[in-house]
Amino acid sequence: MRHIRRYKYFSNIDYALEFLNGYAYHNTLAYFRDYEDAVIGDEFESTRTYQPEGGLQINDLTHKKSFPLQMSFESSVRAAEIYILCLSLIFTDEVVRKFQAKAYIEIREPAIFIKRWLSALPKDAESFNRKVDYYRPEHGPGNIWPQPHLIASTKLVNFAYQQEYRLGFSVTGALAFGQASQQLIDPKTRPAPKPEEHHHWVLELGDLHDISTLYDMHT
């Protein structure tokens, strides 16, 4: 059975070398949410949003009438407590260009990589590893809204070209079922950035040369 390889893109060759030596940097969802870049950053990161065309339909049972409400429904996880490592399922010129990659690593044996990642996790950490699902805001959240690991691995369809694969973990219970908050918000406004939620965590996976290959884009 052929394994689907994973790819990790880097803006600096030194970062790629650190990764190849087994140092896997994870950032919180909050870091990606607040990052001021339309490629890496995503203002809806850590949130599943539902904004149907025409607005949310509200049923007023008292007055027996319905009307559209120009708000969006959002289910959000504890963005400062979930750490993410981002990979990609594809290697394309578009991804290289948009990430302004100077180097990339091809993980030839993703199953072994994931096994090492799981072994390096802190004791009692909750985790997930899965392909990111892409959605349109007018599509209903279905059963996703109470499940943090699904919210943390869904993104709006405009990011679909990245074909992302995510590994995530939490040591505070933030990935437990139901650990998400729901609210109605004005879709024209977004919460202010919270730099105090921008944490990182380095997992030591051991030397990855045996399962990965580094490509320097300038050699």
Dump pLDDT digits (tens) for 109-165. 999 999 999 999 999 999 999 999 999 988 888 899 999 999 999 999 999 999 999
Report pLDDT for 190: 81
DSSP-assigned beta bridge partners for residue 112: none
Question: What are the pLDDT digits (tens) for 28-72?
Answer: 999 999 997 878 889 999 999 988 777 666 766 676 667 677 778
Structure tokens at 180: 């998400």
pTM: 0.91
Rounded CA separation 65/60 (Å): 5
Q: How confident is the model at residue 188 (pLDDT cuts 50, 70, 90)?
A: confident
Which two three-digit tokens encode residue 104?
């990339």
| pLDDT value for 67 | 65
Q: What radius of gyration, in Å, describes the C-alpha atoms of the chain?
A: 19
Task: For residue 89, give every residue at least 6 positions away whose Cβ sits within 8 Å of its Cβ, in sequence order, or none.
Answer: 4, 5, 6, 7, 131, 163, 164, 165
What does the pLDDT look like over 135-148, one tens digit per residue? 998 888 889 999 99
| H or E, element range at 16 | helix 13-20
| pLDDT given at position 3 | 56
Q: Which two tokens stand for residue 37?
A: 């870049």
Contact 83, 168 (CB under 8 A): yes
Sketch the domain layout of the chain as residue ranges: 6-216
